[in-house]
Amino acid sequence: MGCRPWQRHPVPEILFVMFSNSQKLTAVIVAWAKPMIDTIVASRIGQFQPVQAANEWVKKYFPVANDYSIVNDLSFLAVPASEILIEPIVRNGIAKLGIQDQDIPTYAAKLVDAMIKEAEKKGNVSLFNTVEIEKSDLEKLRYLLRKNLPVEETAKYEVIE
């Protein structure tokens, strides 16, 4: 630890950053859903009219294979797009739920456990009638939550009868 020429006081080289449970949950959901999001975004890129027109233009003026798709060349755009689009949506969604930050690990664990039970009954869980999530994917999410947002065991009051 030392002073830099522009500083009057020494600054520790290592600073500890504390993250809220909301930030941790957002990071866990984005990391867990990233493969699904990337696949969905990549498949949807080819449905945009400008992309289809560009694909036809390339096929017309350049010697490419008959099965060539410009989507393969543009797939690198899907990765940052998914992170840029999904992270704020997840963060805002968590904020709108109005759950206190200290309660987020408990709520998240209970929600994932309920989804796993539903997947055991039906084979999978459908989100927004567009994405089918298998039990193994939900178990991966539960694992990530336990590692990053452990639920603190608290004493539960038992009613005396």
Residue 143 has pLDDT above 90, yes or no: yes
Question: What is the reported pLDDT for 6?
Answer: 57
Taking 70 as the threshold, does the pLDDT of residue 122 lie above it? Answer: yes
Distance CA 157, CA 161 (A): 13
Are the beta carbons of 112 and 138 closer than 8 angstroms? Answer: yes
pLDDT score at 5: 59
3-class DSSP state for residue 73? Answer: helix
Instruction: Report the distance separating Cα 87 and Cα 85, nearest Å.
Output: 6
Binning pLDDT at 50, 70 and 90, where does residue 49 land? confident
Decide if pLDDT at 148 tops 60.
yes
Contacts of 127 (CB under 8 A, 6+ apart): 133
Q: In whole angstroms, what separates CA 44 from the centre of its chain?
A: 18
Question: What are the pLDDT digits (tens) for 152-161?
Answer: 777 778 889 8
